[in-house]
Structure 1
Amino acid sequence: MAAPKPTDPAADAARHAQKMAKKKAARDKIMATKEGEKGLIVVHTGAGKGKSSSAFGMILRCIAHGMPSAVVQFIKGAWSTGERTLIEEHFGDLCQFYAMGEGFTWETQDKERDIAAARAGWEKAKELIRDEKNRMVLLDEINIALRYDYLPIEEVVEFLKSEKPAMTHVVLTGRNAKEELIEIADLVTEMTLVKHPFRSGIKGQKGVEF
């Protein structure tokens, strides 16, 4: 087998610079066509972890930019979470936080109570979205309420299409997002499960799960 040819660092650097220059030119050409802004409908779904975590990252970006925002939690209201503690104790002036749920449906084992909690959360969500000073509203785990038909998907879709202010971002999280919601969304991300510590006998841990 022939020995590999020695590399020329200067030639490698030149080739790399040329390659990156072409990429930058192509990227700049694409970006030159992107001028508009609008309030987005964002959906985080899928079986993998990170749906709510990513959405709260977006809320924290809004807070960092001084943009008023709001959170409505549809399922995890009975939990004490790090996100809720942080926002309520330090950023309550910029982000309203409403924990409307009572836990996962198998915790309450009371369908009518779950439906009532979902309805209360949705009414609060509509109020917050209609308020144009809120630049982003996070509806955390609403997809679970929609999956179990605690809320009519048609009502949620129609409201987002007809009443959401033009510059308000609405983020909806939870696995099993309805197709009707995906269809009207501007950005949809599906989190894919590859490995999860729960399957190895590790319970949910502070700082990772909540």
Structure 2
Amino acid sequence: MITDPDRHAEKMAKKKASRDKIMATKTGEKGLLIVHTGKGKGKSSAAFGMIFRCIAHGMPCAVVQFIKGGMETGERALINAHFSDLCEFHTMGEGFTWETQDRTRDIEMAAAAWEKAKELILRPGMRMVLLDEINIALRYDYLDVAEVVDWLAAHKPGTVHVVLTGRNAKEPLIEAADLVTEMELIRHPFRAGIKAQAGVEY
């Protein structure tokens, strides 16, 4: 570790020059296919952070929740109360698979959510669409991953970001994505008997 202020400044100046050179080559812009997966907490939370960035920039955006049911969440309450002019929020699921216990109904709801997602992705002026927990629907084959990936490749407008969250993202989706983040579980309070809490989980 460098402790001398002059040597530190010299090192940082070199690093900045190198970084500026790299950044000068990054001029492209496109609508991204973004996947948040993994066993760790934070997949939907990170995605909602991007939705709120879009809202802050005045960019039209939308959320389609594939699995989560009717339980009130902080993000949905905030968006519906204050930002519904910029962000549509559609909770299409009826709860996690162990709650519904009805595969036929789950498949029907996932199909309806996917149709709504396609409609929103194609809507003129849309900037970002969050497909929350779609990876769960894909994992249980409520939706065909090949159909989803092929449709996005063929029809997603070049200016629209699509964010797909949920554990166990399938390989074809990972291969198609521009940005993939895997949340790693190191420790979780649930294992210590702590329930999901407002402001943290919902």
Please give the range of the TM-score, normalised by the shorter of the 2 chains: over 0.9
Question: Secondary structure of the residue that 2:17 maps to in structure 1?
Answer: helix
User: Which residue of 161, 164, 171 maps to 2:156?
Assistant: 164
C-alpha distance in structure 2 between counterparts of 1:56 and 1:183, whole Å: 23
Q: Deviations over 1:127-168 (max 9, x none)?
A: 000113110000000000000000000110011100000010
Provide the residue aligned with 1:87 in structure 2. Answer: 79
Provide the residue aligned with 2:64 in structure 1. Answer: 72
Question: Secondary structure of the residue that 1:78 maps to in structure 2?
Answer: coil
TM-score between both structures, scaled by the size of structure 1: 0.94
Q: CA RMSD in A?
A: 1.1
Moved over 3 A (4+): none
Question: Secondary structure of the residue that 1:38 maps to in structure 2?
Answer: coil
Q: Is 2:17 aligned against 1:25?
A: yes
Residues 61, 128 of structure 2: 8 Å contact kept: yes
1:79 Cα deviation (Å)? 1.8
Q: Is 2:175 aligned against 1:186?
A: no
TM-score between both structures, scaled by the size of structure 2: 0.98
Question: Secondary structure of the residue that 1:138 maps to in structure 2?
Answer: strand
User: Which residue of 145, 166, 169 maps to 2:137?
Assistant: 145
C-alpha distance in structure 1 between counterparts of 2:30 and 2:124, whole Å: 13
Residue 209 of structure 1 aligns with an amino acid whose one-letter code is: E
Question: Secondary structure of the residue that 2:69 maps to in structure 1?
Answer: helix
| Structure 1 residue runs without a partner (length 5+) | 1-8
Residues 132, 165 of structure 1: 8 Å contact kept: no
1:120 Cα deviation (Å)? 0.5
Provide the residue aligned with 1:98 in structure 2. Answer: 90
Residues 132, 168 of structure 1: 8 Å contact kept: no
C-alpha distance in structure 2 between counterparts of 1:204 and 1:41, whole Å: 29
Q: Is 2:127 aligned against 1:117?
A: no
User: Which residue of 47, 58, 62 maps to 2:54?
Assistant: 62
Question: Secondary structure of the residue that 1:77 maps to in structure 2?
Answer: coil
C-alpha distance in structure 1 between counterparts of 2:110 and 2:170, whole Å: 16
Q: Percent of aligned pairs with the same residue?
A: 74
1:77 Cα deviation (Å)? 2.8
| Structure 2 residue runs without a partner (length 5+) | none
Q: Deviations over 1:43-101 (max 9, x none)?
A: 00000000000000000000000000000000113221100000000000000000000
C-alpha distance in structure 1 between counterparts of 2:73 and 2:112, whole Å: 21
Residues 68, 134 of structure 1: 8 Å contact kept: yes
